[in-house]
Amino acid sequence: MSIHSFEIKKGVNLHHINTDKFKTATLGFYFHRPLSKREVTINALLSHALKRGCPSYPDTMQLNKRLDELYGASLSCGVRKKGDSQVIHINFEFISENYVKTNQSILDGIFGLAKEIITGQTHFAAQQVQQEKENLRRLILSVINDKRSYANIRCVEIMCQNEPHGIRELGFAEDIEKIDEKSLYEHYKKIVLKSPVDVFVCGDVDINKVLEHIKQMFEYTNQMDFDRPKFQMTKSGGEIKKIIETENIAQGKLSLGFTTGINAPQRQYPALLIFNALYGGGPSSKLFNNVREKLSLAYYASSRADLLKGIMTVNSGIEVANYQKAYDEIMLQLGEIQKGNVTDEEMSAAVLAMINSVKSITDSAIAMEDYWLGRLIADTQVDFDELTSQLGKVTIEDVVEVSRNVALDTVYFLKGKES
C-alpha cells in the first residue's frame, strides 16, 4: 500500500494512504524538531498543552464532549524520538462515515477541531499549563516504572551520550519550572508552527476536501525550514562502556548496545533487517532458542535494530547470578553468525518472518503512519512490496557480512539489591 504525497507548500506535506478496509480514519500531524537539550522539554510540554483546549472549547471537558459527539473520536498528542529528531505529533482517529447514521460530516467536525488545536491557538491557559507541567514532571520520573524498557533507554542514552539521540524525548524534569504559559505560546508560534510538518490521512476520505482543509490550516504559517532535520549514525567509540546500576527489583535487566554501521538509506539495510531477525528477532532466532529454550536463562531475550542510527540493542531479563552466563551466550551467538554458522533453515525462517511482519504493517493505520514517517526522515521511500522483494533477495553471505560490522559498544545491567 503506497502513499500519495501532496506538497501543500514548502515544508508542509500531506500523505494519503487510501484504503477502505478500516472502520475508522486517522489524521496525524507530525512536526519535526531537532532533538536538543535546550528545547526538548518545552516541545514535550507543548504536545500535552495542545490537547487541553482551543479557542472554541477553552475548557477541556467541553472539548472532550465535542469529541464524544463525533462518535467518540480520539485525540492523542505526544513526542516521539526518530534518529536525532523529536517529532511532536497530534493524532485523531474517527469513525468512517460509512458506518454511522449522522447528518453532520464527521470529517468536517474533526478538521474544525484540528484547525483550532493545531494551528489556531491564541494563548494557553495558565492553570492548564501548570497542570501539564506537573503531569510531565511525573511522566519523566515514571520512566523507571517499566524496567524492561528503562534498561533499554539507559543503554541507548549511554551509548549515544554525545549525540542528540542520547537525549530522552520527554525532556528534563529540572527544565520544566522555568516554562510558563507565555513562553510556551511564544515557542509554539515562533518555532513549532514554523517547523517542517508531515500530515498523514489514512482511510476512505474525500481527499480533495482534506486538501482544502489542510491548505486553510496552514495558510498563515511560514515554515522557516523546509527540510526534515538531519541525523547521523552512531560511531563505535573504541572502548566498551560498562555500567551497572542497582534498583530494588527481583529480576535483573541486561541491555547490550551495538553499532551496526548500517541504516535505512544504505544498500545493506535489508540484510541488516534479516540479520536482526536471525539473531534476536523472534521465536525462530538464535537468542530465543539458546538463551531461553536451550539454557532456560530468561523469559525474553531479543534484539532490535534502529532505522536511522546504525545501532542495535539486545534485551534480556535474567536472574542476577546468571549475568555472566547470559552475557557470554548473547556474545557467543553473535560470534556464530560472524563465523558464518548460519543454516539454510535459520536463514529462510528469518526472511519469512521479516516479510510477514512487513506485510502485517499494512493492517494497521498507525503502524503505516509510523513506517512512512521513518522513511520520510530517512529520505528513502521504499514501499512494502519493494521492501518485501529486497528482503527476499538477501543471502546468507550478505547477513554474515553485515554481522561482521556489528560491534559491542555498551553493556548496561540493572540489577537487584543483593539478597
Partner 1 sequence: MIEFEKIDCKQLGEVLYGGTHKSGLKIYLLPKKGYSKSYASFAARIGSIDNEFIAPGETEVTKVPDGVAHFLEHKLFEQQDGGNVFELYSKTGASANAFTSFNTTAYIFSATRDFYANLEILLDFVGKPYFTHENIAKEQGIIGQEITMYDDDANWRVFFNLLGAMYHKNPVRKDIAGTVESILEIDKDILYKCYNTFYNPSNMMLFVCGDVDAATVEQYVDKHVTAAPGGEIKRMYPNEPSGVNKSFIQQKLSVASPVFLLGFKDDKNEAQGDGLLYRQAVTEVLLEMLFGKSSKIYNALYEQGLINDMFEVDFTSEVQYSHTIMGGESVNPEKAKEIILHGIKNSRLCDAELERCKKVLIGRFLRLFNSVENISNLFVSNLFKGVDLFNFPSICEGITLNEAKERLQSHFNEENCAMSVILPH
Q: Does 2 bind partner 1 (CB under 8 A)?
A: no
Nearer Cβ to partner 1, position 138 or 235?
138
- CA distances 196 to 26, 88, 199, 319, Å, are 20, 11, 10, 46
Which 3-62 residues touch partner 1, going by CB under 8 A? 19-24, 60-61
Number of amino acids touching partner 1 (CB under 8 A): 70
Q: Give me the least distance between CB of 61 and partner 1, in Å please.
A: 5
Question: Could you say which of 355, 368, 373, 387 contacts partner 1 (CB under 8 A)?
Answer: 355
Question: Could you say which of 7, 10, 37, 69 contacts partner 1 (CB under 8 A)?
Answer: 69
Which 103-162 residues touch partner 1, going by CB under 8 A? 127, 131, 134-135, 138-139, 141-148
Cell of 49: 498543552
Q: Does 191 bind partner 1 (CB under 8 A)?
A: no
Q: Does 84 bind partner 1 (CB under 8 A)?
A: no
Q: Please, which residues have CB within 8 angstroms of residue 214's CB and are 6 or more apart in sequence?
A: 8, 12, 14, 199
Cell of 91: 493524532
- CA distances 109 to 55, 68, 213, 298, Å, are 15, 11, 11, 50
Q: Does 206 bind partner 1 (CB under 8 A)?
A: no
Q: Which amino acid is at 326?
A: A
HEC sequence for 279-347: HHCCCCCHHHHHHHHHCCCEEEEEEEECCCCCEEEEEEEECHHHHHHHHHHHHHHHHHHHCCCCCHHHH
Backbone phi, psi, residue 84, to 5°: -100, 20
Q: Does 321 bind partner 1 (CB under 8 A)?
A: no
Question: Could you say which of 149, 223, 362, 390 contacts partner 1 (CB under 8 A)?
Answer: 362
Q: Does 283 bind partner 1 (CB under 8 A)?
A: yes
Q: Give me the least distance between CB of 63 and partner 1, in Å please.
A: 9
Nearer Cβ to partner 1, position 163 or 370?
370
What is the β-pairing status of strands 241-247 and 311-318? unpaired
Q: Which stretch binds partner 1 (CB under 8 A): 79-87, 293-301, 373-381, 396-404?
A: 293-301
Nearer Cβ to partner 1, position 31 or 288?
288
Q: Are 31 and 197 spatial neighbours (Cβ–Cβ below 8 Å)?
A: yes
Contacts of the segment 345-349: beta carbons below 8 A, 24+ positions apart: 346/278, 346/284, 346/286, 347/274, 347/278, 347/396, 347/399, 349/278, 349/284
Question: Could you say which of 4, 37, 55, 72 contacts partner 1 (CB under 8 A)?
Answer: 72
Nearer Cβ to partner 1, position 233 or 273?
273
Q: Are 42 and 34 spatial neighbours (Cβ–Cβ below 8 Å)?
A: no
Question: Could you say which of 10, 100, 162, 186 contacts partner 1 (CB under 8 A)?
Answer: 100
Nearer Cβ to partner 1, position 42 or 73?
73
Q: Which stretch binds partner 1 (CB under 8 A): 39-47, 191-199, 362-370, 395-403?
A: 362-370
Question: Could you say which of 348, 381, 389, 395 contacts partner 1 (CB under 8 A)?
Answer: 348
Which of 409, 384, 406, 39 has its CA nearest to residue 229?
39
Which 208-267 residues touch partner 1, going by CB under 8 A? 247-251
Q: Give me the least distance between CB of 297 and partner 1, in Å please.
A: 8
Q: Does 382 bind partner 1 (CB under 8 A)?
A: no
What is the β-pairing status of strands 74-82 and 252-259? unpaired
3-state SS assignment for residue 359: helix
Paired residues of 280 in beta bridges:
none
* Spatial strand order in the sheet of 85-95: 4-9, 12-17, 197-202, 24-34, 85-95, 74-82
DSSP label at 98?
G
Nearer Cβ to partner 1, position 1 or 8?
1
* Interacting residues with partner 1 (CB under 8 A): 19-24, 60-61, 64-65, 67-69, 71-73, 93-95, 98-100, 127, 131, 134-135, 138-139, 141-148, 247-251, 282-284, 288, 292-293, 296-300, 317-319, 345, 348-349, 351-353, 355-357, 359-360, 362-365
